Amino acid sequence: MDCNCVSDLLLPPVPALWTPGFAFPDWAYKPESSPGSRQIQLWHFILELLQKEEYHGVIAWQGDYGEFVIKDPDEVARLWGIRKCKPHMNYDKLSRALRYYYNKRILHKTKGKRFTYKFNFSKVVLVNYPILDMANSPFFLAQNHFNGSSATPDCSPEAIQSLFPRLPDTGRGGLFDRGTTAPGPEGDKLRLDTFPFLSSGAQCYTKPPSLLGPYPRSPSFDYPWGFNPYLPGAFSLNNCPKLPPGSLYPSQFYPNPLQSSLSQLPHPFSSLLPPAETGAGERGVAGQNGGANGTAGGQAGRICLPPYPGSLPLGRTDIGNGAALSERETAEANPPGTGLNLGLGAVSLGAGNGTGQQSPTERRGGVKQDPESDSDLEITDLSDCSSENENEHEFSIRKDAGLGNRPQLVLDGKKGSVLPPITSLPPPVSPHPLKSLMPINPHPPSIPPSLSPSMPLHERHRETETLKMIHS
DNA sequence: GGCGGAAACA
DNA sequence: TGTTTCCGCC
């Protein structure tokens, strides 16, 4: 018998990149960091409850940033038990599981306050999040605030390294190049050979080319942390927990996304910026300076836009610039199926929908909330629980209503992007990712025929000399 | 209530 | 690996 328990039902029916609302992206289910398991983890379940207004009676943010109080421990335990098909779950067991997070520094207890815990968001985000978006994550940026001091989050190379355990340890093979420069802001550089998508030959860029259109992914890189930056939405802001407008999260904890530039980050992320980086508007210009060889002044780790002057419909993927686009603008710039809108999606919070909300008490009857809901938080009755993963299919092409019945690519149990219609795919024009940054149908360059590469060199030279004479 | 050890489990 | 279960201790 199928398990009507929520272990399957709660998984987003579509890649979270596409899921509107304050849904957690795929990484929240940790398929990468928990190989072989797509089961929801407790900390994420807690976050889910916290983001649902209807559960504010049982659990809610309270006190310092990241701090929450379990108002109804039994109910939270019951919900968790439902989710995990553990009918005998209770708060004692749940709290033991929460204590398990202490060591992992995902959570810690607020001493002196009953049933009160506090998230270490920097850890939560870091563990699951690619480094660049993490840098732009309001959770991460707000870490300073909720630490209750001006202390910076632990961004030491050791800390970063510890968060990417699959990478080789620090040192020559580590995340950071050390030893060649003195300690300090310039002392430890993210190694570009560890992040091939940051250096990629002669130039550098901030966008995974997949966001700009398909291209032949060859040669393929090995991404040691299991995160492929070329996967759709890998760098998308939509791929990180969204700031629900008017939501559970006090607005003062979330800086204006326009201010959420890397420059706000402490070392070592600040070193990722080109010098004198001030605003998103100048990003492209700065990018031209640093785009020539992937370094700036011999320093590694600069991130810059390619020196392509044309506007790119990048939507929200621009670091520090993405929020400048409204959802509508984003949607218009990247209509579905173009292959350009990967990682984009409407964002709204369930808390604001004002319709169809059920209290936890109402849910106890096992009535599933809004079947059309994108939310993965749909608590159902335990009575049909039999197994946890019977409905999981590791390899499949599935159709989901939310995607207009377009087939969704599912590889190795990991949901991928929606396959755009074949007709929408631009021709694979270049094996090099950067080439995809160029317009698909660029205007023919207005260069004199003498500079045409098809002309033999000596003829070109002669033509050039002729032109010089004419000009003089 | 809160903590952590330990064993079991999937 | 991430819990779940049990337990003794504070």
* Tens of pLDDT, residues A369-411: 433 333 445 555 555 554 433 333 333 333 333 333 333 333 3
Residue A236: other Cβ atoms inside 10 A: 25
Q: How long is the CA A39 to C1' B9 vector, in angstroms? A: 15
- Alpha carbon dihedral A146, A149, A150, A152, in 10-degree steps, equals -60
Q: Which nucleotide is nearest to A114 (CA to C1')?
A: B1
Residue-wise pLDDT tens digits, A141-189: 444 333 333 333 343 344 444 333 333 333 333 333 333 333 333 333 3
Q: For position A457, what pLDDT does the model report?
A: 61
Query: Which nucleotides of chain C are near protein (any atom < 7 Å from a CB)?
Result: 1-7
CATH no., domain A57-130 = 1.10.10.10
Q: How many CB atoms lie within 10 A of CB A430?
A: 14
Q: Which nucleotides of B are covered by protein (CB under 7 A)?
A: 1-6, 10
Contact between A34 and A416 (Cβ < 8 Å): no
Q: In this predicted structure, what is the pLDDT of residue A121?
A: 76
Rounded distance in angstroms from the CA atom of residue A96 to the C1' atom of nucleotide C8 = 14
How many Å from the CA of A107 to C1' of C6?
A: 23
Residue numbers 339-398 of A with CB closer than 7 A to any atom of strand B: 388
Query: Taking the mean position of all CA atoms in its chain, how far away is CA A13?
Result: 18
Rounded distance in angstroms from the CA atom of residue A92 to the C1' atom of nucleotide B7: 17
Q: Please give the DSSP secondary-structure letter assigned to residue A353.
A: T
Chain center to CA of A54: 26
Would you tell me the crossing angle of helices A42-51 and A91-104 to the nearest 10 degrees? Answer: 110
- Neighbouring C-alpha atoms within 13 Å toward the C-beta of A277: 31
Which residue in the block uniquely carries the two structure tokens 């173009």? A338
Output the distance from A466 CA to B7 C1' rounded to whole Å.
87
Å from A170 (CA) to B9 (C1')? 35
Which pLDDT belongs to residue A82? 93
pLDDT of residue A120: 84
State mean pLDDT over A15-44.
49
Q: Which nucleotide is nearest to A87 (CA to C1')?
A: C4
Condensed to tens digits (0 to 9), the pLDDT of residues A79-126 reads: 999 999 999 999 999 999 999 999 988 999 999 999 999 998 776 666
Domain boundaries, chain A: 57-130
Q: Band of the pLDDT at A470, cuts 50, 70, 90?
A: low
Footprint of strand C on the protein (CB under 7 A): A 30, 33-34, 37, 39, 41-43, 80, 84, 86, 88-89, 92-94, 96-97, 100, 104
Which nucleotide does the CA of A83 lie closest to, via C1'?
C3
Shortest CA to C1' contact from A106: nucleotide? C2
Of all residues in chain A, the percent with pLDDT exceeding 70 is 18
The residues, ordered by sequence, that sit 6+ positions from A222 with a Cβ below 8 Å of its Cβ are none
- Residue A387's nearest nucleotide, by CA–C1', is B10
The pLDDT score that the predictor gives to residue A463 is 59
Q: What is the pLDDT of residue A39?
A: 76
Distance A167 CA to C4 C1' (A): 31
CA→C1' distance for A38 and B7 (Å): 24
- Distance C4 C1' – A247 CA (angstroms): 33
Q: Name A residues 144-203 whose Cβ lies under 7 Å from strand B.
A: none
In this complex, the nucleotide whose C1' atom is nearest to the CA atom of residue A85 is C4
Q: What confidence score (pLDDT) does residue A240 get?
A: 33
Reported pTM: 0.39
Q: In this complex, which residue's CA is closest to the C1' atom of nucleotide C6?
A: A93
Burial A118-130 (b: 16+ CB within 10 A, else e): bbbbbbbbbbbbb
- What is the rounded average pLDDT of the residues A206-234? 30
Residue nearest to nucleotide B3 (CA to C1'): A99
Render pLDDT for A309-357 as a digit per residue (tens, 0 to 9). Answer: 233 333 333 333 333 333 333 333 333 333 323 222 233 333 333 333 4
Distance between CA atoms of A119 and A105, rounded to whole angstroms? 8
Residue A453 above 80 pLDDT? Answer: no
From the CA of A414 to the C1' of B8: give the distance in Å. Answer: 29
Q: What is the mean pLDDT of residues A50-54?
A: 90
- Measure A94 CA to B6 C1' (Å): 17
Model confidence at A38, in pLDDT bands (50, 70, 90)? Answer: low
